[in-house]
């Protein structure tokens, strides 16, 4: 029997039914074939991804990669040129007002009315949403209670971001969009924000965030998506991405040019000289014994012996660097 070819409208129904099916399983956000241009700039050039319910998913990418444009389409703030989106069961563009009742948003570079206090801001948002004012509870959640009566303009950067998170939480959403929630915060304030994000995840919230801090993405996220030139160039758990795109484990051991050449000749492994050590990209733990034998036979004193793996940041730079070479 010949396979039936789908016409365009059937294809659309097929994709929509798949999106719908995913939503009934445990997917909170699904984007298929997402595109957005600003005149000649292809900000988002065909992105597919999904965020599962209850996970922290981080969108990573260099400046101008298309992260905010993607998030704004998911939030129903920008109309996609092409593609389908399902957020918490809604099409964000067609059903923006119903969807926004289910989600919370911190936009990139969050700012607010200068003379309003956190307590007043939360009460104001609660009135807009028609929900009970939980300002005490929310300020407590983010450790901002003592600033309840301080005007927005007098809050520190970190305190402003925390208020942003409170406002995003006013309607007790299941899903949060946080666009660079920790940018500009000092290390202590950033870690406070991580604690809050972890608390929200523990409550079962789904969180889509963007960040330029790769270490943050690595410790907070269940999965990450690396966006570059409007495309998703890698997606998975940080470990998966490191395994797929990294150089595996690296053995740092005392050595020199001669040892490096011998190791390379005997094992075929990539080997570089790094000061008084050599760095060998090993493929299995059994390589270690063979390399140590070569070092010993060469009469080099064993002062260094260390096994390391690339970080998400190193792998990210490799992937994005490769994309720069292609474009």
Ligand X SMILES: Nc1ncnc2c1ncn2[C@@H]1O[C@H](COP(=O)(O)OP(=O)(O)OP(=O)(O)O)[C@@H](O)[C@H]1O
60 touches ligand X by CB under 6 A: no
Cβ atoms 35, 103 nearer than 8 A: no
> From the list 28, 69, 182, 254, which residue makes contact with ligand X (rule: CB under 6 A)?
69
> From the list 11, 20, 38, 203, which residue makes contact with ligand X (rule: CB under 6 A)?
38
- Residue 109: left if φ>0, alpha if ψ -120 to 50, beta else—which one? left
Which lies closer to ligand X via its Cβ, residue 183 or residue 290?
183
64 touches ligand X by CB under 6 A: yes
User: Nearest-CA neighbor of 144 among 132, 128, 158, 129?
Assistant: 158
65 touches ligand X by CB under 6 A: yes
User: Nearest-CA neighbor of 179 among 170, 168, 187?
Assistant: 168
State the binding partner of 89 from Mg ion, ligand X, none, CB within 5 to 8 A by kind.
none
Which lies closer to ligand X via its Cβ, residue 39 or residue 204?
39
327: Cβ–Cβ under 8 A, 6 or more apart, which residues? 229
> From the list 66, 80, 92, 158, which residue makes contact with ligand X (rule: CB under 6 A)?
66
Q: How far is the CB of 40 from ligand X (least distance, A)?
A: 10
* Angle between the N-to-C axes of helices 238-245 and 312-326, in degrees from 0 to 180, rounded to the nearest 10: 50
- Which stretches does DSSP call E strand in 145-244? 175-179, 206-210, 223-228, 231-236
Binding segment (CB under 6 A) for ligand X, from list 57-65, 239-247, 294-302, 316-324: 57-65
Q: Which residues ranging from 66 to 105 are in contact with Mg ion (CB under 5 A)?
A: 67-68
State the binding partner of 229 from Mg ion, ligand X, none, CB within 5 to 8 A by kind.
none
User: How is the chain split among helix, strand and coil, in percent rounded to 5?
Assistant: 40, 25, 35
Residues that bind Mg ion (CB under 5 A): 67-68, 108
């Amino acid at each position: 029997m010949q396979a039936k070819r789908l016409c365009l409208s059937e294809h659309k129904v097929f994709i929509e039914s798949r999106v719908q099916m995913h939503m009934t399983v445990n997917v909170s956000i699904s984007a298929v074939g997402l595109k957005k241009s600003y005149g000649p700039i292809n900000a988002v050039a065909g992105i597919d991804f999904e965020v599962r319910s209850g996970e922290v998913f981080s969108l990573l990418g260099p400046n101008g990669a298309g992260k905010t444009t993607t998030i704004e389409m998911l939030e129903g703030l920008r109309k996609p040129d092409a593609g389908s989106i399902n957020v918490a069961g809604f099409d964000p563009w067609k059903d923006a007002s119903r969807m926004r009742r289910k989600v919370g948003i911190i936009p990139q570079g969050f700012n607010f009315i200068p003379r309003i206090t956190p307590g007043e801001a939360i009460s104001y948002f609660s009135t807009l949403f028609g929900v009970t004012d939980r300002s005490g509870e929310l300020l407590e959640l983010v450790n901002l209670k003592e600033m309840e009566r301080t005007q927005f303009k007098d809050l520190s950067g970190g305190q402003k971001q925390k208020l942003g998170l409170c406002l995003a939480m006013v309607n007790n959403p299941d899903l949060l969009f946080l666009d660079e929630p920790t940018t500009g915060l000092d290390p202590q304030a950033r870690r406070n924000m991580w604690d809050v994000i972890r608390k929200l995840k523990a409550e079962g919230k789904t969180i889509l965030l963007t960040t330029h801090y790769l270490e943050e993405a690595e410790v907070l996220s269940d999965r990450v998506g690396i966006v570059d030139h409007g495309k998703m160039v890698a997606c998975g758990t940080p470990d998966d991405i490191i395994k797929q795109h990294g150089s595996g484990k690296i053995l740092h051991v005392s050595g020199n040019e001669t040892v490096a050449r011998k190791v390379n000749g005997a094992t075929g492994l990539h080997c570089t000289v790094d000061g008084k050590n050599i760095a060998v990209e090993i493929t299995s733990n059994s390589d270690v014994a063979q390399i140590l034998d070569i070092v010993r036979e060469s009469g080099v004193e064993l002062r260094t012996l260390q096994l390391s793996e690339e970080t998400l940041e190193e792998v990210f730079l490799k992937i994005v660097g490769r994309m720069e070479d292609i474009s």
